[in-house]
Amino acid sequence: MANLKEIKNRITSISSTMQITSAMKMVSAAKLKRAQDAITQMRPYAEKLQEILGNLSATLDLSENAYSEQREVKNAYIIAVTSNRGLCGGFNNNIIKKVNALLNNEYAAYNTRIISVGKKANDAFKRSDANFRPEGIGEAEDMFNDLTFDRSSEVATFLMNEFAAGKVDKVVVVYNKFKNAAVQEVMEEQFLPIVVNQEEGSSSGDYIFEPSKAEIVEDLIPKSLKTQLFKALLDSHASEHGARMTAMHKATDNAGELKRDLTLQYNKARQAAITNEILEIVGGAEALNG
């Protein structure tokens, strides 16, 4: 009977776990809807801004721009974007692995520093010599508690100032790009110096520029950089909830299968115990009759 009690306790424990994972799945699904709406609304704007910048700069030399200067890389920043919480499958671990791979390979020759956005990245790299917690851009844990364009712009402005001052020669952002609830793609995007993708056949068209094309580009570049970083954070935010919803869905299914197996095991053990008791009673009755 002790074995039956142990199995029953396990069934009760798994039932409680199923309730928790199912509730977390529903919460993540609700949050995913808002986060997905945010990134799907942001992407067309960000892409159009990049397209306009590419068209305007097609006939301009951007090499003199403070954020376009290509120089020998000695100092680099890696912006590692993770979530504040776990229970989302390999979402955070994939970013941490990617950053470590960059540190140990192509960025090994540089003086590379990691700026963590998200508590999980901060926990992973806080004991690393490469960890960097700059003042004035808020705590890493706070970013996703209140994700706004203004908060993101603080980080982007800091990075632009560092690059313009010559303190860093290259900045990349490592984050999860949202594709759907079940699929997130680890991205490594160059943030600085800027690289404008000018597609073949693109042109600025027959426009009248006021005050001038050069001044418009100078104004668009900072806006484009801030938008680019904010889009990466929104992508990561939506990816987090998609990954957590998928992970909790799988956890609930796995718990259900385990509960069914344990219930079957419990019923078999209970049936065997009852059979043994019947055999003992029959055996005792026959002994008395004999």
CA distance 194 to 225: 8
Is 92 found in the same domain as 50?
A: yes
Residue range of the domain that includes 114: 28-246
Quick check: 193 and 99 in contact, CB under 8 A? no
Q: Which position has the token pair 């791979």?
A: 101
CATH number at residue 102: 3.40.1380.10
* 30-76 per-position pLDDT tens digit: 999 999 999 999 999 988 888 877 776 666 666 567 888 888 999 99
CATH number at residue 273: 1.10.287.80
Is 35 found in the same domain as 15?
A: no
Share of the chain above pLDDT 90, in %: 57
Q: Which residues contact 156 (CB under 8 A, 6 or more apart)?
A: 225, 226, 228, 229, 230
* 233-273 per-position pLDDT tens digit: 999 999 999 999 999 999 999 999 999 999 999 998 888 88
170 has a pLDDT exceeding 90: yes
CA distance 120 to 90: 12
Q: Which pLDDT does position 41 carry in this prediction?
A: 92
Average pLDDT over residues 77-90: 93
Q: Of residues 205 and 129, which shows the higher confidence score?
A: 129
Q: Which residues contact 113 (CB under 8 A, 6 or more apart)?
A: 75, 76, 77, 78, 130, 131, 132
138 has a pLDDT exceeding 80: no
Q: Which residues contact 22 (CB under 8 A, 6 or more apart)?
A: 248, 252
Is 99 found in the same domain as 48?
A: yes
Rounded to a whole number, what is the distance in angstroms from the first to the last CA of the chain?
A: 30
Q: Which residues are catalytic?
A: 88
Q: Which pLDDT does position 205 carry in this prediction?
A: 56
Is 97 found in the same domain as 34?
A: yes
pLDDT band at 201 (very low <50, low <70, confident <90, very high): very low
Is 280 found in the same domain as 237?
A: no
Is 211 found in the same domain as 103?
A: yes
Q: Of residues 208 and 230, which shows the higher confidence score?
A: 230
Quick check: 76 and 115 in contact, CB under 8 A? no
Is 272 found in the same domain as 220?
A: no
Is 12 found in the same domain as 42?
A: no
Which residues face 80 on adjacent strands?
116, 174
Average pLDDT over residues 108-113: 93
Torsion angles phi and psi, residue 190, rounded to 5: -75, 125
Q: Which pLDDT does position 64 carry in this prediction?
A: 62
pTM summary value: 0.86
Quick check: 118 and 151 in contact, CB under 8 A? no
The backbone region for 131, taken as left when phi is positive above 0, alpha when psi lies in -120 to 50, beta otherwise, is beta
From 213, 229, 246, give the residue that closes a domain. 246
Q: Of residues 199 and 19, which shows the higher confidence score?
A: 19
Number of domains in the chain: 2
Is 230 found in the same domain as 277?
A: no
Is 195 found in the same domain as 57?
A: yes
Mean pLDDT over each residue of the chain, to the nearest integer? 87
Is 105 found in the same domain as 136?
A: yes
3-state class of 88 per DSSP?
Answer: coil
pLDDT band at 165 (very low <50, low <70, confident <90, very high): very high
Query: How many residues comprise the chain?
Result: 290
Q: Which pLDDT does position 133 carry in this prediction?
A: 81
Q: Which pLDDT does position 163 carry in this prediction?
A: 94
Is 275 found in the same domain as 153?
A: no
